[in-house]
């Protein structure tokens, strides 16, 4: 294989929330471009199954960590790097969304949304960035959300966290701009993932809609009239990881069929 067909050959990519959905699809796309991949997550069984499903594509391993816990993250990164070398591509994909009216959002829910969606991203970047700076090459791709670009009712804590991820992306991109490291965000709209399946369940329970009607309601947000597929998001993630994307920095790229244009 030529360098052009495997542009990430020899580079170690770590994907958080890598056992399923966008994370698993991103891992597959990165392996296809030659990267060595670590999947990071909390569900050991799901991680093992994901590694088995990807093993034929290249070098892949899994490590367990709670991204909201700094010590857990540091230990997992050390373990991953001992096997595959410094993490030069970081995909911060792990996240969680809980729907709740603001007047019923307590401090515990608020803190949990920030911990997983924002502080976890912070912990992982802090663990990976020194190796990238030493190599004078790196890619940080934060999987944010259209909820980081616009507002949605009943998910104020989640929206606040994802807006924070985009703010972090833009700020850090300026710090690393002359050091060979790019920092970008990908902002999926409603995507066929566990988060959307949870949203469908919530709509059904609260409104009595059928699951099909609830899915259609979410798909209506997309001008294309459909849910985004994880593989579509993953292709954007993989493109941002390429050497050829080096001039793309500090961006928040919506993968949403045009939803954010319509508000």
Alpha carbon distance 172, 161 (integer Å): 16
Confidence of residue 41 (pLDDT cuts 50, 70, 90): very high
Share of the chain above pLDDT 90, in %: 92
Question: Where do the structural domains in the chain lie, given as residue ranges?
Answer: 12-189+229-255, 193-227
Active-site residue, selected from the candidate residues 152, 154, 158, 190: 158
Looking up tokens 């999926």 gives: 188
Phi, then psi, of 39 in degrees rounded to 5: -95, 130
Residue 263 predicted with pLDDT over 80:
no
Phi, then psi, of 184 in degrees rounded to 5: -135, 165
What pLDDT is recorded for position 206?
86
Residue 187 predicted with pLDDT over 80:
yes
Contact 203, 214 (CB under 8 A): yes
Per-residue pLDDT tens for 98-124?
989 999 999 999 999 999 999 999 999
Please provide the average confidence, as pLDDT, over all residues in the chain: 96
Interval 74-84 mean pLDDT: 98
Residue 128 predicted with pLDDT over 50:
yes
Residue 6 predicted with pLDDT over 90:
yes
What pLDDT is recorded for position 44?
95
Whether CATH 2.170.190.11 fits 12-189+229-255: no
Confidence of residue 195 (pLDDT cuts 50, 70, 90): confident
For the question of residue 158 being annotated catalytic, the response is yes
Of the candidates 94, 109, 104, which has an alpha carbon nearest to the alpha carbon of residue 141? 94
The pTM score is 0.94
Residue 2 predicted with pLDDT over 60:
no
Phi, then psi, of 227 in degrees rounded to 5: -85, 145
Q: CA separation (Å) from 89 to 27, 48, 154, 157, 217?
A: 11, 21, 33, 28, 35
Of the candidates 120, 221, 199, which has an alpha carbon nearest to the alpha carbon of residue 164? 120
**Given the DSSP bridges, would you call strands 87-92 and 12-16 parallel, antiparallel or unpaired?**
parallel
Interval 137-150 mean pLDDT: 98
Sheet containing 60-64: give its strands across.
60-64, 36-41, 12-16, 87-92, 138-143, 181-188, 252-255
């Amino acid at each position: 294989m030529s360098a052009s067909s495997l542009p990430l050959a020899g580079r170690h990519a770590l994907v958080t929330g890598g056992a399923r959905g966008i994370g698993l699809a991103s891992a597959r796309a990165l392996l296809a471009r030659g990267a060595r991949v670590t999947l990071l997550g909390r569900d050991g069984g799901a991680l093992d199954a994901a590694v088995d499903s990807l093993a034929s594509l290249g070098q892949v391993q899994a490590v367990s960590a709670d991204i909201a816990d700094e010590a857990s993250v540091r230990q997992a990164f050390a373990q991953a790097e001992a096997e595959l070398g410094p993490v030069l591509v970081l995909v911060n994909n792990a996240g969680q969304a809980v729907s709740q009216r603001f007047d019923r959002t307590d401090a515990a829910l608020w803190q949990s949304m920030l911990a997983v969606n924002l502080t976890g991203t912070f912990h992982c970047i802090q663990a990976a960035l020194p190796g990238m700076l030493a190599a004078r090459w790196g890619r940080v791709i934060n999987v944010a959300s259209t909820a980081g670009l616009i507002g949605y009712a009943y998910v104020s804590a989640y929206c606040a966290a994802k807006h924070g991820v985009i703010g972090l992306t833009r700020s850090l991109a300026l710090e690393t701009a002359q050091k060979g490291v790019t920092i970008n965000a990908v902002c999926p709209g409603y995507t066929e993932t566990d988060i959307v399946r949870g949203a469908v369940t919530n709509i059904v329970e609260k409104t009595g809609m059928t699951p099909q009607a609830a899915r259609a309601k979410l798909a209506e947000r997309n001008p294309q009239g459909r849910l985004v597929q994880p593989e579509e998001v993953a292709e954007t993630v993989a493109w941002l990881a390429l050497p050829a994307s080096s001039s793309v920095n500090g961006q928040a790229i919506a993968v949403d069929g045009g939803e954010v244009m319509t508000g």
